[in-house]
Amino acid sequence: DLASDRIALEALRKAVGGRSLLWNLSNSPCSWVGVFCERDRVVGLRLPAMGLSGQLPIALGNLTQLQTLSLRFNALSGPIPADIGSLASLRNLYLQENFFSGEISGFLFNLQNLVRLDLAHNNFSGEISPSFNNLTRLRTLYLEENQLNGSIPDLNFPSLDQFNVSYNKLIGAVPQRLSGRPATAFEGNSLCGKPLIPCNGTSNGNDKLSGGAIAGIAIGCVIGFLLILMILIFLCKRKRTKQGVAKDTQERKQSETEIARENVVADRGTASTGIASAAAVAKSESKRGGGTKNLVFFGNTSRVFDLEDLLRASAEVLGKGTFGTTYKATLEVGVAVAVKRLKDVTVTEKEFRGKIESVGKINHENLVPLKAYYYNKDEKLLVYDYMPMGSLSALLHGNSAAGRTPLNWETRSGIALGAARGITHLHSQGPTISHGNIKSSNILLTNSFEARVSDFGLANLAGPTPTPNRIDGYRAPEVTDARKISQKADVYSFGVLLLELLTGRAPTHSHLNDEGVDLPRWVQSVVKDEWTSEVFDLELLRYQNVEEDMVQLLQLAINCTAQYPDNRPSMEEVRNQIEQLCSHGGDTHQDIEDEKSSQQTYSIDSGAPPP
């Protein structure tokens, strides 16, 4: 009953959270922060990042109705206590990012109802037990970044979605049943076999080579060296006979090498030559009458610069995207612009000009305005305002060591609103107008963190993109060709963007994501298990009085990422809902010490598609 639940919780507080768990012991445990009850029993205990430290007491076994235990991101140490094995109702056990050590306790394998088990980033040692196979309902097993050794047993989980054992001390072959998992699930071990390198005769679990193999390699090296030497002698002789005959050819070759070198430097993003050479090509073309003489400006943009100025500008590569490389060019007058050098433009000049002219006419405070463009046979340049704060992607996933600003709820919801307004404005231009490439690197920020959507109108200038690229994590399931975009596909991508803002995780295929998470699927599966608060970015959990707003935005994101386009809201509806949400957001800067707890039981529709 609740009295025995109370005893367990008080013992836990005494052992690991005396200072950090500010529970009012004279009230019912169901009113305590992180404790969730149903029918007067504790069913959830969620204390992530609460500064808990020390060893878990033998007491939690009292919580016989507990379904979710989340103690992630704390400083808990020692073994997992044996009585956890008596939590017969437990479905979700989330202990990652602590200092737990010792072998993974055999008591865990009694937990027949366990669906998610995350023990990653601890100090667990010993072998992975084949008894994991007792956990037949398991869908998530995360064991990465521990000290586990030995080989991986033949694990057979019928419904496993997520699995990771990377960065342990595992050896031997990946069992066949797990060979379809991504290589990242196994890296950082001495493992072989699909999806890693094949296990051949020379590698039997450890990396030592046999004597025969070493001798073979040595002989191969000597033969290779002799061959190269002979080729070099032959080439030198030939060169001498040709000397003096082809001086002009040599000069030409030299200049080709220069150009090649220049391109390499530009590609590496270390110098301004890329944009300079683009502008130079453009300039020489226009001199020959092969295109427009100069940049074409839009609206009231004052023509403070021309191609010559771009040529002289100091420039740096900002990044390479789907449609080309983007440079920051600082003009001599001190103004910075972003110049996108388009590649693979497949439309005719007339179509290009028509499409870009209509992009240039679109004007809204939440869109990055296209200032000007340049078109000729060899070069197509787009000039935008330069946004000094960079992109949402860099801000969310950038290196925290480099001084990343943590984004609070107010800023995140403001960014969501700004982006929604920008995209809604685009959609209001006509039912066939859509963005086609909504993702966090295309949400740029002003100095005051206002969102401006960039890169609109480019999707149907380029050819099909058969290989997965960075948009793929955002792409709606019905979009098979990047050019066949729609407003409802934009809504899906925007939903993924909202999930990214809420969870702090980048979607699959993002170059910054190493977890391989399919964000909508992951969020839906967690929410279905009534585990909603686990999806939120830890930085957001500091602001407890906004959890209800976060849950509402999460529901909206889930609606946006519905599998069938007709089940998704329109962008206008999305904008209106975020506007409402932001308008009643009062004091959102409550501190972590704020004891006001949010004890609502949130109900989320997991957005399951119709049959």
Site residues (vs ligand ATP, CB under 6 A) = 318-319, 321-323, 326, 338, 340, 368, 384-387, 390-391, 437, 441-442, 444, 454-455, 470-471
Strand, coil or helix: 279: helix
Of the candidates 164, 173, 125, the residue with the CA atom closest to the CA atom of residue 148: 125
Q: CA distances (Å), 556 to each of 73, 229, 474, 541, 577, in order?
A: 27, 67, 16, 19, 8
CA end-to-end span of the chain: 40
How many C-alpha atoms does 388 have within 13 Å on its Cβ side? Answer: 5
Of the candidates 290, 231, 456, the residue with the CA atom closest to the CA atom of residue 363: 456
Nearest approach in angstroms of CB 323 to ligand ATP is 5
Spatial neighbors of 4 by CB under 8 A, at least 6 apart, are 62, 64
Contact 17, 8 (CB under 8 A): no
To which residue do tokens 């990653």 refer? 120
**DSSP code at position 150:** E
Structure token pair of residue 49: 């990042």
Contact 152, 165 (CB under 8 A): yes
Distance CA 84, CA 111 (A): 9
Of the candidates 351, 348, 359, the residue with the CA atom closest to the CA atom of residue 382: 359
Q: CA distances (Å), 223 to each of 214, 230, 234, 422, 577, in order?
A: 14, 11, 17, 64, 71
In DSSP terms, 101 is beta-bridged to 123
To which residue do tokens 């074409």 refer? 296
